[in-house]
Each structure stands twice: as C-alpha cells, then as structure tokens.
Amino acid sequence: MRVAIAGAGLAGLSCAKYLTDVGYTPIVLESRDVLGGLVAAWQDADGDWYETGLHVFFGAYPNMLQLLKELGIEDRLQWKKHTMIFNQPEKPGTYSRFDFPNLPAPFNGIAAILRNNDMLTWGEKIQLAKGLVPAMLRGQKYVEQTDKYTFSEWLKLQGVSEDVQQDIFIAASKSLNFINPDEISATVLLTALSRFLQQKDGSKMAFLDGSPPERLCQPMVDYITKRGGEVRLNAPLKEILLNPDGTVKGFAIRGLNGAADYVETADLYVSATSVDVLKKLLPTPWKQLEYFQQLNGLEGVPVINIQLWFDRKLTDIDQLLFSRSPLLSVYADMSNTCREYADPDRSMLELVLAPAQDWIHKSDEEILQVTLTELEKLFPQHFGSDNPAGLRKYHVVKTPRSVYTATPGRQQYRPSQASPISNFYLSGSYTMQPYLGSMEGAVLSGKLTAQAIARAASEVNSQTSTPTLNTQPATNAATA
C-alpha cells in the first residue's frame, strides 16, 4: 500500500521508516529543499552549518535512541559528562554545577541536588524535594492532571519559594518550550523532571556529531528508499483533495520554478506538517468535525536561534549551558560539543533566544546586538577588556511557529494520530504522546502513526496476512 506523507521532519521520516518495516510504500513530500523540519540546517558560503535550533538528546529519549540503533547510527551521538551547568548572573563568568554521580536513580539526582550549594540553600533543597516527591510517587496520571496549572502556580501550591523558581526553573522552562514558568503548563516540566529523576541516565545529554539533515535525517531517507519508499524535496502540499464521501482523494502538490502542479495519489495519507500549517490546509468540510476543531487550541511558539563565530576560544566547556539570562535560554560552544564543528582555537556559540515573542519581527542586527550585550555578562573576560573577542560572522534563524505553545489546558486539544477520516492520519509532536513538543515526541508520534495505520489495516481484514508493526513498541506513558 502506498502512503503519502506531507513533511520530511522527524515525525514524517520516522513514520515512513516504520511503515517500510512492515511492507508499506511511503512517499514523503517535503515543501522545502532541506530535510528535518524543526531540525533543519543549511550550509553558508564558507561551508559552515547553521541550524534551526540547539538540538540536545537526552538519555530519557527511548524512542529516539531505539531509532538510531535500528539505523545503525547510535555512535553519532556524542555523550557528555552527566552534569547540568548554570551561569551565575550575580557572579558574571562563573558557573554552578549539578553533577550526577554513578548511582541508581533517583539517588544520583538527589545527590546532585544536595551537593550544589551555589544555587540552593538547604531550606530550598527541602522545599524542592517536597514539591517533586508527589510527581515521582503518583506517576504520569498525576503529572497529566497538573495541566490546569502553570508551573509557577504548581510550585506555589507545593510551598516552593519564588527564589527556587528564579534559580533553576526559568532556565529549564525556556529550554523545554521557550516560554517562562508563569506561562508553561506544569505538565511539561513535571514530565521531564519525573523521567530525569526516575532514570539513571535520563538527564544525561548528547550532541549529534554533525548537522541534523546529514547525520540524522539522511540515514532515514536512505533506509526508506532502500526499501522501496521515496522522499521528495521541493514538493509543497497545496491542497488536500477530497472524494465525495469526505475521504482524501489526493495531495495537490504545487509545482515550483515554473513546473506545473500535480496530484499525488495513494491508498493512505499522513500530514506530518506543523499544526499551524495543517490548520491552513484543512478542507472546509473537515472544519465542522470536532476532531479538527480542537486544533484551534494549539499554536506554535516563536523561536530564534543565533550562531556566532569568534576569532578566539571563549570557553572549553563541552556541554549545554543554562544561561539564566532574561533573553538567552540555553547555549553551547559547538566547537567543543560537535565533532564536525570542532575548532581548537576559535569558538562558535549557538544560542536560543527565548521567549522570542517580542523579538521575532525585529531585524537580525537588533537581535545580534542584544545577544552580544548578554554575552558581555556571560564572558566578561573576553568582552569587558581592551581586547574584546572579534565576531567573524553570524547567522540568525527565526522560526515564527515552532513546537506547540504548551500553556495550561493544551493537553485536551492534542489529537490522536488516527483521525475520523478513514484514510487520513496525523503525525507530529503536537499529537497526543507523553513526550510533548520535542525531538523524542516527534519520533514517537511517527512510530504511533505507523502503528495506527498497520492496526487499522489489520482490523479491516483480520483474516488476511496484512502486516502489523512488529518492531520494538513505542515507549509511552504506560511503559515508560
């Protein structure tokens, strides 16, 4: 059976990969000339890569890690020392660390917290423990029930002080969904914290050894095409065409560079675009269905990624850093963390500006200047002297609508992968799965979509040998 999939991000490609495993023939249609969706990257005139975002992999990403293993590329992840490093704004140029010892979970996380005396007093450590214990003991069902609160509201209910929120959770909130704790759903942070604390290496981080399109997405393309599937770039979905009964007749694809439009037909169809794109493409008859109406409760969050190349080494730290800056959420010196970007003499910083709502429409020059101002606080020894570091070049990548904005109450709007249209499915991290808006969530959604397709085919004709998805099961809230 042919399955047309709109979107060659992680969700669309993983869906196609798992469909080929059970004998389906996917045709992945990507609107742009680059793979990856929200993990896309481009090369500039010098051959240097600049990316959509700062992409970090966690030990608590079981579906992503399983996918890499199945592709035979798990060695492309460069695992870092198990630690979390925060800047100390009150002491410019200094860091506070949470080092996780080689102990079983949750004892390694407890030890990391207890041994940190820079950011938390003993009273604050006790407050924090009291707040996190319910999430750990009462499980995912409890975590999902906290979606009615912002994380700030939830902390207040646990008796956790404002100081603890300022010290740790502003940085964590912005790194997970690019918004602040007084906006983000408590479910988001509690989901991450529960996995980080319950799995020994849950919060351990890795960086890909090169650009995501080449080192992560292209292996999926090779896997898909080797098994009879197809991945086609520069094929933007223009319209979803319907049969008289409301099912999908075909995907109308816009021809580029003077080429004529054409219609891609298949047995089944999948939208693996962002929720914002999908809402614009919904056929009018579908907009009357409650399943599709709920999508109006979801909207992508704006994100800005900045990459700066300097004429000297600013830091030797080989790890993600939480800036605790009002504007910059996380950053890393990619010349240290990524093998392909390595440079022993000069730094290339990649930074995420968040929240970005007030900056997404400003010029690149304005964004650069405010970033450099923040860097003076993070690296005073290199910018506050008579011989400041020289900026060689920079790139600003704006994503006006990234992962869905995870404010309280959004869970009820997240759709299942199987739609009420018999031959149409959804895939994307905004669809219902426990890993929220993340790379892991995108990969898991693709796997769940493939499972839903195989399961539906099996139910239609259980007397035939219709293939079922027999790979390692998706890790979800029930099995995590």
**Three-state SS annotation for 116-179:** CCCCCCHHHHHHHHHHHHHHHHHHHHHHHHHHHCEHHHHHHHCCCCHHHHHHHHHHHHHHHHCC
Q: Determine the pLDDT at residue 479.
A: 29
Q: Determine the pLDDT at residue 480.
A: 30
Strands, E assignment, 183-259: 205-208, 230-232, 237-242, 248-253
* Upstream peptide bond of 283 is cis (omega within 30 degrees of 0): no
Q: What percent of the chain has pLDDT over 70?
A: 95
Q: Determine the pLDDT at residue 478.
A: 29
Is residue 470 scored above 60 in pLDDT?
no
> What gap in Å lies between CA 79 and CA 208, rounded to an integer?
9
Which range among 111-115, 237-241, 467-471 has the greatest average pLDDT?
237-241
Region 243-264 average pLDDT: 96
Which range among 110-124, 153-167, 196-210 has the greatest average pLDDT?
196-210
Q: How confident is the model at residue 397 (pLDDT cuts 50, 70, 90)?
A: very high
Q: How confident is the model at residue 214 (pLDDT cuts 50, 70, 90)?
A: very high
What average pLDDT does the chain have? 92
Q: How confident is the model at residue 471 (pLDDT cuts 50, 70, 90)?
A: very low
Selection from 65, 69, 62, 36 nearest residue 50 by Cα: 36
CB 467 within 8 A of CB 22: yes
Q: What pairing do the DSSP bridges indicate for beta strands 57-58 and 49-51?
A: unpaired
336-392 tens-digit pLDDT: 999 999 999 999 999 999 999 999 999 999 999 999 999 999 999 999 778 899 999
CB 323 within 8 A of CB 374: yes
Is residue 436 scored above 80 in pLDDT?
yes
Alpha-carbon torsion (410, 413, 418, 423), positive or negative? negative
Q: Determine the pLDDT at residue 477.
A: 33
27-65 tens-digit pLDDT: 999 999 999 999 999 999 999 999 999 999 999 999 999
Q: Determine the pLDDT at residue 462.
A: 66
> What gap in Å lies between CA 189 and CA 280, rounded to an integer?
30
pTM above 0.75, yes or no: yes
Q: For residue 154, what are its two tokens?
A: 């939830």
**In this structure, how many other beta carbons lie within 10 angstroms of the beta carbon of residue 426?**
28
